[in-house]
Structure 1
């Protein structure tokens, strides 16, 4: 048998194989997970999974004429999936044992990354990754110090048991969300964040049944998919609920079916009390935040009890210094409300405004102009808080939303009526606000355990 040479090209997470047609070779390639024939360009595409390239090298051996690894050169400022300020770098230690480096283009830093073994550039997300080691991390930190940049560091939850869903690249003939589904969401005036959540959830449902036409999907498949999310993906109760709601939207709103209950095991929501900070801990975090803009952001969130989405959508005109109020427009539930404007927050906002001069939004990201204002990144705010907490002795697991919980709890502890807190937070139901009565420790020092009165 005439065994002709083969060519292999590696493009990030994809391997391209060019070879002459041969039945034995074809059967081997078909045995590689999710391999597919690209009819238009006449080559095989194989996902670059761990071990795939090694199996191909072992099988084809000396028949491989060349292996070409393509790199996307980083020649322009990166448009990052995680937006951060200039002269900042965000480093994330991932569950897979790598460090993710996100920063604006800098040749010196990029050259350092390229000296580290097994570095990778992700052209889609615009970030670098390197293997985690204390040495590599120290090398990067030294370079950051030389540049005078600010380091933001965070770690992914190493204990997460959630199995990630298959990406579009992992699935041959991946089915995209129907355009009519997205149009109906927009027609019903669902928020952009809800649309961003529903579309990938519904796509995951569609692609879980690759051989069933969308019109053939029904209640049986909804039950099966829900079971898969719980037993295989091990997703949270809230994720499962949102997935079911995304699927129900298709059957009831897009197809126009009657509203019905799907007999799936809807999870009981975990009743966990939110973590809150003491007033002393909030003060420590704010004092540890030296950057004026960053401090203004955290102070605004805490002093007004804002959600992170509400903060990044605040406009300059929403600050009413005469009435000492902040107007929150089209918040969760598409409702407007007013909340508190602290005098200390107003003072730092005025200092910040003189320095930064935002155009439309109160806090704007890189590249913002009067004609094209850019909202500040929600992810960057999380990194700011993380960096400030690391400078303190606080060991609690907190997020930006913890500041909102702390605001409500501290108001309650200072004697504010629960109805006013409900209004300031924008809660539709008082039951949502009542959760803070279970968190506060005010008055505990006045209660004595009955054991103390026993003769034991």
Structure 2
């Protein structure tokens, strides 16, 4: 019997029931049938809000697939404290009702301005922290000095990442724009991101990963991402009508930057896709989970990490690693950088240029002076 562990933790000012188990695709697919279940990055667990009804719901749901439920930690009734550093340092109060209404209007405004769901979630999240900080400091007018103080207390002191600091700046600026508030030039310099090179797998490692799975859906999805250089969001949004087998192209619609583009359709992948289609018969999306809903990026990422561990790849492998590997292998095969830019959907050639730094072709041609000593 598969073991399901339940525990309590604090999140979003309320107690949640955490759900953890050893990775298993059947359990994962079954769990996602619960529409209200969410994922916590902090605790690496799925969760539902704590209530007797939800507790019973979890018990009944997992008993359907004959799982053993360990609920000893629920009996202790001692929720784990939130791990977020900013909360521990600042002890931010809850939003007032008026500010909550403001946040709802801000979210609606962002939606009307056609920002992506991920961008909306990020901007709303940082703005909530900003307003809670304002309540803590008893501030009602957002001056330049106050915003700089928030940046220092909330980002610099807890040593948040450079990427997160930029997200905070963007989110606050959008909120001020929404409120028609003009603030003099901020003395917050946008720090430059670390120029880290992308992780790239060799062709042999890609082959190892794909050969390690007997699940046709998993193999087809990962093969598609690599062979077409897709982002995971682009892959799970594909429909059968987007596969043009006559022209051997894949249409990627409404990708990053709200742009459409074409990318390559591999002949080997086409054979795999036809076999996959006959077996799974997808209805709307090319890749679907249980009950014909859209397949999730979290499920795909779990599959890849499991395979990487299985074949012994020590590099930090993500779904985006397959896209990086596609671009690097094209470059090493002599494909012009401009074509790679088009296939990846990069708006600037500077973004694509990073693959010249990870390609081994030119470096391998250089004779090492140590060899001639």
- TM-score tier, shorter chain, comes to 0.7 to 0.9
Measured after TM superposition, the shift of residue 113 of structure 1 is 2.2
Pick from 324, 327, 334: which aligns with 1:405?
324
Distance 1:221 1:366, change over 3 A: farther
Pick from 81, 85, 99: which aligns with 1:163?
85
Pick from 128, 131, 137: which aligns with 1:206?
131
Measured after TM superposition, the shift of residue 227 of structure 1 is 1.2
Structure 1: which 5+ runs fail to align? 1-10, 15-45, 49-70, 75-82, 123-128, 131-160, 369-373
Alignment of 1:354-393 (within 5 A): 354-368=278-292, 374-393=293-312
1:35-64 deviations in Å (ceiling 9; x for gaps)? xxxxxxxxxxx977xxxxxxxxxxxxxxxx
Distance 1:444 1:247, change over 3 A: same
Instruction: Name the counterpart of 2:186.
Output: 262
Residues 134, 140 of structure 2: 8 Å contact kept? no
Residues 288, 388 of structure 1: 8 Å contact kept? yes
Distance 1:121 1:420, change over 3 A: farther
Please give the TM-score of this superposition, normalised by the length of structure 2.
Answer: 0.78
Q: Partners in 2 of 1:405 and 1:326 — Cα distance?
A: 18
Instruction: Name the counterpart of 2:52.
Output: none
Alignment of 1:36-55 (within 5 A): none
Distance 1:327 1:121, change over 3 A: farther
Pick from 85, 99, 103: which aligns with 2:29?
85
Greater RCO structure (CA 8 Å; 6+ sep): 2
Q: Does 1:251 align with 2:176?
A: yes
Measured after TM superposition, the shift of residue 351 of structure 1 is 1.2
**When the two structures are aligned, how many residues end up with a matched partner?**
334
Q: Does 1:297 align with 2:216?
A: no
Q: Partners in 1 of 2:185 and 2:262 — Cα distance?
A: 37
Distance 1:378 1:422, change over 3 A: same
Instruction: Name the counterpart of 1:192.
Output: 117
Instruction: Name the counterpart of 2:358.
Output: 439
Distance 1:392 1:335, change over 3 A: same
Structure showing the higher helix proportion among its residues: 2
Please give the TM-score of this superposition, normalised by the length of structure 1.
Answer: 0.65
Residues 165, 233 of structure 1: 8 Å contact kept? no
Residues 244, 251 of structure 2: 8 Å contact kept? yes
Measured after TM superposition, the shift of residue 222 of structure 1 is 1.6
Measured after TM superposition, the shift of residue 403 of structure 1 is 0.5
Distance 1:162 1:450, change over 3 A: farther
Instruction: Name the counterpart of 2:68.
Output: 112
Q: Partners in 1 of 2:106 and 2:45 — Cα distance?
A: 37
Q: Partners in 1 of 2:328 and 2:203 — Cα distance?
A: 10
Instruction: Name the counterpart of 1:331.
Output: 255
Measured after TM superposition, the shift of residue 211 of structure 1 is 4.8
Q: Partners in 2 of 1:217 and 1:259 — Cα distance?
A: 8
Q: Partners in 2 of 1:189 and 1:101 — Cα distance?
A: 29
1:286-319 deviations in Å (ceiling 9; x for gaps)? 0012100111110111111111111111122111
Measured after TM superposition, the shift of residue 99 of structure 1 is 7.5
SS state of the match for residue 203, structure 1? Answer: helix
Measured after TM superposition, the shift of residue 195 of structure 1 is 0.9
Distance 1:223 1:380, change over 3 A: same
Residues 84, 365 of structure 1: 8 Å contact kept? no
